[in-house]
Every structure is written in C-alpha cells, then in structure tokens.
C-alpha cells in the first residue's frame, strides 16, 4: 500500500483494482453453487440462531481472508463467517466482509445476493465493493472519489418529493413510513441488504429501510457507496452508523439521497428540529 506524505494518511488507490478483482473472483466461486430459480447445489446447515449458511459462504470467506490479507497484511478482519477476534478493536485498518449477503436468496435461486467488502480506516469505510455476480453488476467507491457501477459513475435519485419516492425494505417499516408519508410507492424488498443500499446509490431506489440487528458486514461497503453517490445512511436520529464496535450490530436505519434524507427522518420521527440539525 502507498502512503501519502500528509500525516501518514494512507492512499488506497493502489488497492482499487486488486480489490475489484478479488470481489469478482469471490463472486465466481459463489456462482459455482448458484442455480437461478432453483435451490443451490451447495451444502446447507444452520448457524447458532438458526440462520442458514452454505459451503459457498465458507468457500468465499476463506478465499477473501487469504486474498485480502495478502493485499493488506496489517489490516484486522471482521466477517460474518469467521469467528470474531476482538484484536480488531482499536485497529486502524479493518477488512469488513460478507462473503454472501442475502444467503437465503442465494440458496433459493433469487438473483439479488452480493459479495460485500469494505476497508475501514479509523472505523470509517474508505473502500467499498458490493458485487452482484448473478446480475453481473459491481458497485464500488473510494472515499472522496465518487461511486461507480461497472466502471460508470452513479448518483442517487434527484427526486425531491418524498411523497413520490419509491421505498424498499421490511414491510413493517414500510407500513410505518407510508402511514406518515402518503403517496410513497412500495417496491419489492431486495434480499441482500448491501445490494438494497447500493441501489439507492444508483438511483434505482429512492428510500431504503433497514430493520434492527444488521451487522457491520451488511452495511459498511454499501454505506460508503451511498455516501459517495450523494446520499446518506443513518439511524432514525440522523446519526451515521458506527463501525468496528465490540458488538457490530445496528438499530433501525434509513438510506436516501441527501435531499430526501432529512425529510424522511422528520416524517418518521416527527422531529423537524432534529432532522435539520444533521
């Protein structure tokens, strides 16, 4: 990795190409087990808590652990499919990985799953990739350089009327939002949370909602992509997600353009003063 001369703040540009390549290779590994419209060929078992995991998740995780550690050996590691090592706490650089975000979609043959990779610097995402192999779409961002999909610049929706917004997320949250904001259009829920947020970045979804208990690996890469595309991800108080905490879990979140975001917060909480302050 190349370091700038500005107080030893790293420049991550040299990592962009190899990170993109690693994401595509990881996606190719997962694709070996993916069956469009059919149950995956991968072995499936249940983790503690009952959520499913497949041998594809494990294979992608192992590949990325090796590849990303080679790219940046000094970085700590946090992944959905790796036992947590709290040595990451306080580490300046941390890889955050979800080898297959949207495992249930993947195992049922639904195309909306992704490989999500983020690099944190001082607990903030500075590199992010969300790759949807079954859709041949790769979203990416580097802090301060904008967001892209398959190499082309993307941006959030220019819509300014929240009542005309398309909204995606868990049905109870959509119902609550639509009770407060008449006229919104409910869109199909995107099973991969990272992909749901990436579509906000691309302007395909105006508003995305996230139920409580999402983890860092679901959010970090897409959060950066949304921000670099001109949007915001926050909790209902307007605060940005905090990453690399001892317990990497989050409460309810919203994502939208910088225009719609404060209006959405105001509508969902009824606190105009608070929404204007963020």
- Its domain, for residue 271, covers 162-277
pLDDT in tens, 126-149: 999 999 999 999 999 999 999 999
Percentage of the chain exceeding pLDDT 90: 84
94 and 138, same domain (yes or no): yes
**Could you tell me where the DSSP H helices lie in the chain?**
13-31, 55-71, 103-108, 171-180, 193-201, 216-228, 260-269, 272-277
Show which of 110, 135, 153 is a domain's final residue.
Answer: 153
Please give the Cα distance from 198 to 204 (Å, whole number): 9
| Structural domain count, the chain | 2
CB count in 10 Å sphere of residue 22: 22
**What is the pTM for the complete model shown?**
0.92
pLDDT in tens, 53-85: 999 999 999 999 999 999 999 999 999 999 888
7 and 70, same domain (yes or no): yes
- Both tokens of 258, joined, read 């910088």
Show which of 153, 180, 200 is a domain's final residue.
Answer: 153
123 phi and psi, to 5 degrees?
Answer: 70, 15
Determine the pLDDT at residue 274.
37
CB count in 10 Å sphere of residue 158: 11
Show which of 91, 125, 153 is a domain's final residue.
Answer: 153
What is each CA distance from 215 to 169, 219, 266, 275, in whole angstroms? 16, 7, 25, 24
For residues 143 and 29, the answer to whether their CB atoms sit within 8 Å is: no
Name the band, by pLDDT with cuts 50, 70 and 90, for residue 5: very low
């Amino acid at each position: 990795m190349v370091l700038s001369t500005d107080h030893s703040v790293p420049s991550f540009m040299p990592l962009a190409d190899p990170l993109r390549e690693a994401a595509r290779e990881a996606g190719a590994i997962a694709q070996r087990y993916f069956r469009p419209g059919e149950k995956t060929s991968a072995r499936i078992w249940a983790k503690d808590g009952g959520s499913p995991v497949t041998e594809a998740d494990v294979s992608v995780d192992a590949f990325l652990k090796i590849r990303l550690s080679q790219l940046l050996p000094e970085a700590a590691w946090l992944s959905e499919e790796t036992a947590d090592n709290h040595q990451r706490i306080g580490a300046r650089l941390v890889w955050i990985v979800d080898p297959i975000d949207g495992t249930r979609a993947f195992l049922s043959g639904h195309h909306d799953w992704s490989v999500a990779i983020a690099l944190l610097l001082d607990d903030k995402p500075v590199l992010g990739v969300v790759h949807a192999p079954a859709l041949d779409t790769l979203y990416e961002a580097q802090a301060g350089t904008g967001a892209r999909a398959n190499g082309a610049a993307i941006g959030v929706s220019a819509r300014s009327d929240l009542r005309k917004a398309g909204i995606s997320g868990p049905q109870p949250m959509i119902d609550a939002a639509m009770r407060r904001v008449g006229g919104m259009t409910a869109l199909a829920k995107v099973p991969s949370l990272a992909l749901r947020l990436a579509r906000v970045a691309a302007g395909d979804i105006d508003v995305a909602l996230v139920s409580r208990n999402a983890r860092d690996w679901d959010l970090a890469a897409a959060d950066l992509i949304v921000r670099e595309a001109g949007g915001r991800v926050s909790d209902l108080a307007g605060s940005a997600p905090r990453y690399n905490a001892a317990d990497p879990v989050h409460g309810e979140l919203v994502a939208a353009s910088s225009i719609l975001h404060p209006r959405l917060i105001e509508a969902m909480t009824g606190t105009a003063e608070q929404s204007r302050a963020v």
